Chain A
Amino acid sequence: MNPEPFLQLDRVIHEKGRLAIMSMLAASPELSFTELRDALGMTDGNLTTHIRALQEEGYVSVAKSYQNNRPLTTCSLTAPGRKAFAEYINLLEQIVRQNKPR
């Protein structure tokens, strides 16, 4: 078995919580902090930590605004984030193909 694809997996995305955030954001132009938190069942602190890690890597951008006089935090994938996510999926598919019994 070739371990190469496994070793190439992006460690930042590979963590369960961050992978879930990236997956949600990949299918939507943007999601609010509340939508992400409710959909993934994370605590505010946990979600903030993961988003910060993804933001530092340049995968996620965070915008703060106001809607009806209430603060609104929205997250979206950046172009590098989208690319990294696509590469991560490709590698997973490669691993699945590689390990499938012929």
Chain B
Amino acid sequence: MENNWAEENLQTIRTLMERSAIYRRALAPIMLLAGAIGVVTAAIGVLWPLDTFPTFFMLWFGAAVLAILGALLIARRQSIKDKEAFWSPPTRRVTQALVPPLLAGMFFGILPAIMRAPFEAAFLVALVWVLFYGFALHAAGFFMPRGVKIFGWLLISSVCLLICIYAANGIDLDEKAHWLMGFFFGVLHLAYGAYLYLTEKRKNAA
């Protein structure tokens, strides 16, 4: 009996500590930066035009690396400003949640690039990237503010819907890979960043 309550207490403490240690860096500037990079990259891809699969892959892989580096720099700057450890337990947990889906998504991009797939395959890869990115955000959302999980769900359900419409021949996506990437990684991030920017101030003041 005594053992039970002691174990239950320990479990409750563990749960509460995990719930308390959420990743609370302000996401707005990170989302805005990712969105801006996404929009600029899409514009380059459409206007240039970069219409082979390897160039598509390299362009967006470069954009992803740039966005990740930028996000790390912003988070680092915030941690210094708030006098908090950068590589804290919440940061570690969020990273652990993000890495597997992101690596899987990268794999599905590298594979067609190695196999010299035609540019027509790029929109499928774009959808797979958005899908895996949605998985990553959903997983990380367990240790972050609730909106991140909802954003993940939005990406996942949008991709599923697009695939259904495409399969029913309702939409032609064959040459629209840069547009898709620009919308999901650019416009939606900018919109989410703007939403966070406007709402975070109110929440912090509460």
Whether A99 and B2, one on each chain, are in contact in the complex, defined by CB atoms closer than 8 angstroms, is yes
Whether A24 and B2, one on each chain, are in contact in the complex, defined by CB atoms closer than 8 angstroms, is no
Surface stretch bound by A, among B4-12, B134-142, B157-165? B4-12
Size bracket of the A interface = 20 to 34
Residues of B within 8 A of A89 (CB): 10, 13
CB-nearest residue of chain B relative to A40?
Answer: B16
A63, CB-defined interface residue at 8 Å: no
Whether B7 and A25, one on each chain, are in contact in the complex, defined by CB atoms closer than 8 angstroms, is no
Q: Which secondary structure dominates where chain B touches chain A?
A: helix
Whether A70 and B205, one on each chain, are in contact in the complex, defined by CB atoms closer than 8 angstroms, is yes
B168, CB-defined interface residue at 8 Å: no
State the Cβ distance, B169 to closest chain A Cβ, in Å: 48
B175, CB-defined interface residue at 8 Å: no
- Roughly how many angstroms separate A23 CA and B7 CA in the complex, as a whole number? 15
Residues of A within 8 A of B9 (CB): 19, 92
- Roughly how many angstroms separate A34 CA and B7 CA in the complex, as a whole number? 29
Residues of B within 8 A of A92 (CB): 6, 9-10, 13
Extra A-B contacts (10), CB below 8 Å, given A40-B16, A68-B201, A99-B2 = A6-B2, A23-B13, A26-B20, A32-B206, A67-B205, A68-B205, A93-B10, A95-B2, A96-B6, A99-B3
